[in-house]
Amino acid sequence: MRLRRQTIANIVGIEGVGLHSGIYTKLEFHPAAAGEGIQFVRTDLRSLRVPALQASTTALDYATSVGKDDVSIGTVEHLLSALLASGITDVDLMIDGPEVPVVDGSALPFMHLIDAAGTRELEGDLWPIRVSRPIEVRDGDKSITIKPSNRLVINYSIDFDHPLIRRQSHRFVFGEDDFVSEIAPARTFGFMREVDKLRAVGLAKGGSVENCVVLDDEGVMNGPLRFDDEFVRHKMLDLIGDLALLGRPLAGEITAHKAGHALHSRLVEQILRQPETEPIQEQDVARRHAPTPA
């Protein structure tokens, strides 16, 4: 269960509009040294560094933002999910604006970017976090829980009052299922009836049929879908990106129902507060494979 630290092998970049700000930004991945972690670097603001950690979280309205000293970087979750799934532990994310490019609304462009960059092993290991007892966070009928496990398993369900969505659920097991084919392509989605309200409060300024699955009252306006259950898969993608703010991989079985960024963030906070939270040790692996006494 011990993981080798990794960075990217070559500088790569991508550019595009921010989903909520509508601002066009450029993003580059630069190799980083072991122990540097994942950091955003605002190249337009004297290279201010913002660690991709829970302590840096500044906003959770329809997306996750991190920031420092009144400077923020928005909609980080799709990018962070790709980094976590790729095993990248240390990288500088050079960005010249306030929001990560949304590209097509999924994590797939970032996975392709990491693949093009290649990876390079660094000195040192990273132990995943394991919770030793269940943790539950609720808000009305929304909930998210985690229980002990020696791998990361996610069970997610959603329930929308829309004829195309209704109830959807999906299960994903890290190390067993394929993130690139099963989760990364799932795009963010929005409802036409909410567009005016969102834009009135400064959100969704860059949203379009090119970077978001758009639904009217009957169905999808810009189909086809990539999966029949693309909506719940994207919620899982968001969760994985929010879990990256732990700063280390996580082992545990998560069950989420109608959760979102706010509940994801509260779960991450609770995990970090648990005094029993501990890294998986090699003896745990040996114990799992030891023969059972007769």
103-125 tens-digit pLDDT:
999 999 999 999 999 999 999 99
274 and 137 co-located in one domain: yes
Q: How many CB atoms lie within 10 A of CB 119?
A: 18
Please tell me the predicted confidence (pLDDT) of residue 257.
98
42-71 tens-digit pLDDT:
999 999 999 999 999 998 989 999 999 999
186 and 98 co-located in one domain: no
How far is residue 44's CA from residue 36's CA, in Å, rounded to a whole number?
A: 21
φ and ψ at residue 68, rounded to 5 degrees: -160, 135
272 and 149 co-located in one domain: yes
154 and 61 co-located in one domain: no
Task: Domain count for the chain, please give it.
Answer: 2
Greatest distance between any 2 Cα atoms in the chain: 68
Contact between residue 137 and residue 255 where contact means Cβ atoms under 8 Å apart = no
Q: What CATH code is carried by the domain that includes residue 200? A: 3.30.1700.10
Please tell me the predicted confidence (pLDDT) of residue 278.
53
138 and 265 co-located in one domain: yes
φ and ψ at residue 139, rounded to 5 degrees: -150, 95
Q: What CATH code is carried by the domain that includes residue 19? A: 3.30.230.20
How far is residue 206's CA from residue 20's CA, in Å, rounded to a whole number?
A: 5
198 and 72 co-located in one domain: no
Nearest Cα to 25, choosing from 128, 93, 136, 101?
A: 101
275 and 137 co-located in one domain: yes
Residue 149 lies in a domain: yes
59 and 138 co-located in one domain: no
Q: Give the pTM.
A: 0.92
How far is residue 293's CA from residue 13's CA, in Å, rounded to a whole number?
A: 54
126-151 tens-digit pLDDT:
989 999 899 999 999 999 999 999 99
45 and 98 co-located in one domain: yes
Residue 87 lies in a domain: yes
Q: Which domain covers residue 76, as residue numbers? A: 3-126
Residue 287 lies in a domain: no
What's the token pair of residue 88? 């990248």
Residue 289 lies in a domain: no
* Cis peptide bond prior to 224, omega within 30° of 0: yes
Domain-ending residue, one of 126, 158, 186: 126
Residue 292 lies in a domain: no
Known catalytic residues? 261
Domain-ending residue, one of 126, 145, 175: 126
Domain-ending residue, one of 60, 94, 126: 126
